[in-house]
Amino acid sequence: MTEPNLHRSRSLLTAGSPGCTLLLAGLLALGGCATTPEQPAPDGAPSAARAVGYALSLQGVPYRAGKENPQEGFDCSGFVRHVFSRQGILLPRRVRDMATQLPPVDKDQRQPGDLVFFNTSGAPYSHVGIYVGDNHFVHAPSPQTGRVMVSALDLAYWWQRFMGVRRPLGQEAWASSISGRGISAVH
């Protein structure tokens, strides 16, 4: 660029100039296109690996009672329901209903993508999270923690309240979707 054109380009993009305002407006308009549409995973059957990956990507989203989307926040069952709806799997809205309607899995047979249930309020099945492997799970714990986060199952608080494991797909379909994939919750 020649010297006169360089000075002209700089003056077009100085604060308050029409060129700067137009550039800023264009960037803001394009920013709205960057949001991810709410739809099931595009490439075939539901996958434990995709569910876990998506759940982990939501870490930090605020806890909000009664909510079930990343824009407003999540409570525990809203978080789980949202993650699996992206896989094309519609789960019940309430934790207790998830626990009673999904097939149980022995705790020693849990796999990434399984649901883990807890008694955190004095009532069975009052909290749910998604097992991510390596003895960790991702969940929307409470207003006190304030956000979606990964926790260790072997922490005394969680292990003492542990109620069981449920699998949101049939055993064979879910197991085949994770075979050969190493999923880790801790980076």
Q: Cite the active site residues.
A: 76, 127, 139
- Report helix, strand or coil for 63: strand
Ramachandran bin of 116, using left for φ above 0, alpha for ψ from -120 to 50, beta for the remaining angles: beta
Q: In degrees rounded to 5, what are phi and psi of residue 37?
A: -65, 150
- Report helix, strand or coil for 130: strand
Secondary structure tally for the chain: helices H, strands E: 7, 8
Amino acid of residue 64 = R
Neighbours of 183 (CB within 10 A): 18
> Which residues on neighbouring strands pair with residue 137, listed in sequence order?
131, 151
For the record, the structure tokens of 160 come out as: 């003492």
Helical residues (DSSP H) of the chain, grouped into ranges: 3-12, 18-31, 48-57, 76-85, 95-101, 156-161, 171-178
